[in-house]
Amino acid sequence: MESRAKFLGHPVHQILIPLPLGLLSTSVAFDVMHRVTSDDTWGTVANATIGAGLIGGVIAAPFGTVDWLAIPGGTRAKRIGTLHGLGNVVVLGLFAASWWLRRERPQAMKNLPYALSLAGVTVAAGTGWLGGELVDRLGVGVDPGAHLDAPSSLSDWPPQSVPVIVDQSSGREEVADGPGR
């Protein structure tokens, strides 16, 4: 099933999600560094990283929703997409609560915000797997003609076509890069 929200031929949701996922995951690493070193700078950086990750997650979510709405009802993909989306709402909620609890003194991290972030990254690992299941196993967000020799999304060729040029001197065939090659 092809994505409904694309930019330069690629699904916008899949373009956007690595940044918030990376930021939120990295904030937990910064929390761990804060706990190990007792250096308050790590707590401050973790707090800022959570804030940036939340913004990125909120920006990515509508594009995932657009694609989810296009999945036919009653399918495994719709069920997995629902779990993926709702799970990511939980992830953002856990990290938002962690961020809120740190707001007055982000450098002095307490146990509850740390536990909420750990829970958030754990749930994110599961929702990330579900997202992979949607794309890699169920083909959600994949061009219908995708294949190993598909032309670039920036070319004028549709993905299902494989333009071939025959070298007249050698008779060898090769895949063309786009129209007028």
pLDDT, average across residues 80-89: 96
**Average pLDDT over all residues of the chain:** 87
* pLDDT at site 173: 65
Contact (Cβ atoms closer than 8 angstroms) between residue 30 and residue 42 = yes
CA distances from 106 to 23, 56, 58, 77, 96 (A): 16, 20, 22, 40, 13
21-70 pLDDT, tens digit per residue, is 999 999 999 999 999 998 999 999 999 999 999 999 999 999 999 999 99
168/181 Cα distance (integer angstroms):
15
Q: 112 falls in which pLDDT band (50, 70, 90)?
A: very high
What are the residue ranges spanned by the domains of the chain? 6-137, 145-181
Q: Which burial class, exposed, middle or buried, applies to 31 when counting CB atoms under 10 A from its CB (0-12, 13-18, 19+)?
A: buried
Contact (Cβ atoms closer than 8 angstroms) between residue 147 and residue 161 = no
List b or e across 146-156, with b for residues whose CB sees 16 or more CB atoms inside 10 angstroms.
eeeebbeeebe
pLDDT at 126 over 80: yes
Q: 178 falls in which pLDDT band (50, 70, 90)?
A: low
83/81 Cα distance (integer angstroms):
5
As given in the structure block, the two tokens for residue 149 are 């020799």
143-164 pLDDT, tens digit per residue, is 777 777 777 777 776 666 555 6
DSSP-derived secondary structure letter, 156: S
